[in-house]
Amino acid sequence: MIPVPEGTIQGMLQEAVGRLGIDFPLADFLTEAPNKAFLTGVTSGRVVATVTIDGAPYLHLFFSQPPGIELELWLEKNDQSLPKRLIVTYRNLPGQPNFIAEFSDWNLNIHPSDADFTFQPPPDATQIQLKPVAAKTPPAKGKGGKP
């Protein structure tokens, strides 16, 4: 178990990303201000169109985030603007992989207790130690790889 300083989902995600180097593509949607978190690092964006998905109108938005990341987001076209779909495309990686998420059945009236987040391992579980992310060494400068 890794203690989380803030005791929040956002604090847990920051700890996992910072200490362990784990990437959570949907982490922006689990913060206290998802709109601000989602737009962090974005350098441009535009409305592509209004589209119909499952009989309802959605705004199709497109954003660019250097280096080479494209974000497409479909939001309900109403006061809540809940996300319906997210596609993240990594243009600078070999094969230009993408991550696709579909959102459905939103219920904003659930209020979980702290007990709902208490981990109860199965009796036959084995605890392992997670290692911190290794520090990256800066690339060598100059000819022949010498600094």
72-87 confidence digits (pLDDT tens): 999 999 999 999 999 9
Place of tokens 């208490």: 118
Q: Mean pLDDT, to the nearest integer, of 23-46? A: 85
Which residue has better confidence, 20 or 102? 102
Selection from 139, 133, 109 nearest residue 147 by Cα: 139
CB 83: neighbour CB atoms within 10 A?
Answer: 20
How far is it, in rounded angstroms, from Cα 99 to Cα 112?
Answer: 28
- Please give the pLDDT value at position 94: 94
- Reading the block at residue 9, the tokens are 């989902």
Overall average pLDDT of the 111-122 stretch: 83
- pTM of the complete model: 0.69
| DSSP element (H, E) containing 47 | strand 44-53
What does the pLDDT read at residue 147? 40
